[in-house]
Structure 1
């Protein structure tokens, strides 16, 4: 089974920037994609394809690279419409990307959909690729991160609203990684379009917005109907890292095939300035960013603790005044 690594770069200067984006350059994701492509080449994977609604702008940004080291560029046919102030606006167009590839890819090739703010760290395990090919879908289950953070009842409620029915075992799937055969995409896309329509209709009731909401709802519905999915996170095919977060021991990420850095986009943009991806250099910078994040988290905890103590003291003084 062949792999088709691809990423979405949707350019719209009038749209609201992503919540995790600090660079206001609408083409900053191209720089991240350059880094991703360099890391893919290092581990012996196929060239990354950037699917974009603005191919001329993207190709101009890539002009300075040697032709053999550039990502490929394919025009995305965008069909969906939604308010431009919607959180994670650009990510919604992954639905159009999946739809386009469901017909464009040959039967022996799987879509490997990746977010641009990722690096390939190790080659994907061949046995895992085979399992995903047999099942049709390989997805990244991040329920253990999302459910505790937002409350399982709220997350499940959002999923079932978008799915338009009760789900047997609701799961939340990360949008940064998906392996899918063309046949499975042809099953998934119609369900995802139906979920997307309900997602738009019910958006004011939902706490969660973005492609993960309606794609997860569609995947859950397919699973309830008997579709098998391979949970790739258990195989460390991908790990999501936030600087300073204690969810995983930092060393755990060095055994992942892909590392997603939604809070470290600037690290990827810096690394893209180099012709080749250097793991040692990148790991050192990633580790420094992680340690700085730990310090920020610690400082915030101290401030919260001191604020709580001060509030308790003021309350105690006020209570004494009332009693006297």
Structure 2
């Protein structure tokens, strides 16, 4: 693990200064520190869900996410990356107000083959550990994926509940169990957790709200789960951070931690165009949308002179209607192939 004291003493003042205007809600309530990982690795396998050959496409997604968050009154986004100088130079072409904050990650001690699917996503644990060490008491770390869009601010009472329990996570067990079989998913979870789980749940990696106290408990547990994950990585159906973070959250839940479900409270919705799992209108009431199938749409928004959430929503509606007839066929074909599942 990294030297948390070093990071707090040497880097936290810089982070605190550059992000001071972003901390806290508009009404002076719970302080929220949104962050997203942009891990640039040219020679890794990368994400099968990303069709762009440009490794900085994730920066463009982060620009759109940052613009959308500011538009609804949420704090600005901090991008944690392994190549801060390169990302900062890339952002020079963007208006100052649209630029997310950039933070250089300390070198990682996580080791895994570079040809691992969703290789970069694994280092989200580093971001959580390092940014978690910078939090003040009373703040919440908001861990996000870059391919997201903010539609409205997060309910203050919900943030208070997350602060009280220490954590809010996105329970997507209903989707994972039905898509891949509960037996397969639970077997993966218990393998990575290292034993039987009382109530196995799968948590999506696109959003996590965590207090400093909870981060301090989660990180070592997730590191232990990662080591088990790494040893059996070729036997698992899932590659990515969701496997070992979900396993760690389950272990902490079994120890008595209550986990607020951010999906049930419509803090976040994971939307694939055409998916009839929920009516499209349900997603419009979410604070945050995860759009793993619309990465290029979000990247194009970063290059528009004026950000418009309404423009993005209209595009989502059109894509949804066009894909509705073919979505059942896609799901049937996937069920026949039974391919391994991974990071969304």
Match of 1:49 in 2: 78
Partner of 1:138, secondary structure, is strand
Partner of 1:32, secondary structure, is helix
| 2:210 is the counterpart of 1:191 | no
Alignment of 1:234-245 (within 5 A): 234-245=264-275
Among candidates 20, 38, 41, match of residue 67 of structure 2: 38
Change in CA separation of 1:10 and 1:163 when aligned onto 2, cut-off 3 Å: same
Match of 1:91 in 2: 121
For residues 288 and 115 of structure 1, the distance between their equivalents in structure 2, rounded to whole angstroms, comes to 24
Kindly indicate whether the alpha-carbon contact (under 8 Å) linking 1:267 and 1:286 is maintained by their aligned counterparts in 2.
Answer: no
Among candidates 144, 148, 152, match of residue 174 of structure 2: 144
Give 1:300 shift: 5.8
For residues 302 and 70 of structure 1, the distance between their equivalents in structure 2, rounded to whole angstroms, comes to 41
Match of 1:320 in 2: none
Change in CA separation of 1:100 and 1:295 when aligned onto 2, cut-off 3 Å: same
Give 1:301 shift: 8.7
Kindly indicate whether the alpha-carbon contact (under 8 Å) linking 1:237 and 1:257 is maintained by their aligned counterparts in 2.
Answer: yes
Among candidates 279, 287, 301, match of residue 271 of structure 1: 301
Unaligned runs of 5+ in 2: 1-29, 335-344
| 2:149 is the counterpart of 1:119 | yes
Runs (4+) off by over 4 Å: 298-304
Greater Rg by CA: 1
Stretch moving more, 35-44 or 272-281:
272-281
Match of 1:319 in 2: none
Partner of 1:234, secondary structure, is coil
Give 1:204 shift: 2.1
For residues 309 and 34 of structure 2, the distance between their equivalents in structure 1, rounded to whole angstroms, comes to 20
What is the root-mean-square deviation in Å for CA atoms of aligned residues?
Answer: 1.6
| 2:197 is the counterpart of 1:155 | no
Kindly indicate whether the alpha-carbon contact (under 8 Å) linking 1:35 and 1:119 is maintained by their aligned counterparts in 2.
Answer: yes
Kindly indicate whether the alpha-carbon contact (under 8 Å) linking 2:138 and 2:163 is maintained by their aligned counterparts in 1.
Answer: no
Query: 1:43-87: per-residue Cα shift (whole Å, max 9, x none)?
Result: 111110000000111111110122233110000122212111111
TM-score by length of 1: 0.91
Unaligned runs of 5+ in 1: 305-324
Among candidates 247, 250, 271, match of residue 280 of structure 2: 250
For residues 15 and 215 of structure 1, the distance between their equivalents in structure 2, rounded to whole angstroms, comes to 21
For residues 299 and 163 of structure 1, the distance between their equivalents in structure 2, rounded to whole angstroms, comes to 35
Give 1:298 shift: 6.0
Partner of 1:8, secondary structure, is strand
Partner of 2:55, secondary structure, is coil
Match of 2:8 in 1: none
- Which protein has the bigger helix share? 1
Among candidates 80, 95, 104, match of residue 66 of structure 1: 95
| 2:118 is the counterpart of 1:101 | no
Give 1:299 shift: 6.6
Partner of 1:168, secondary structure, is coil
TM-score by length of 2: 0.85
Partner of 2:269, secondary structure, is strand
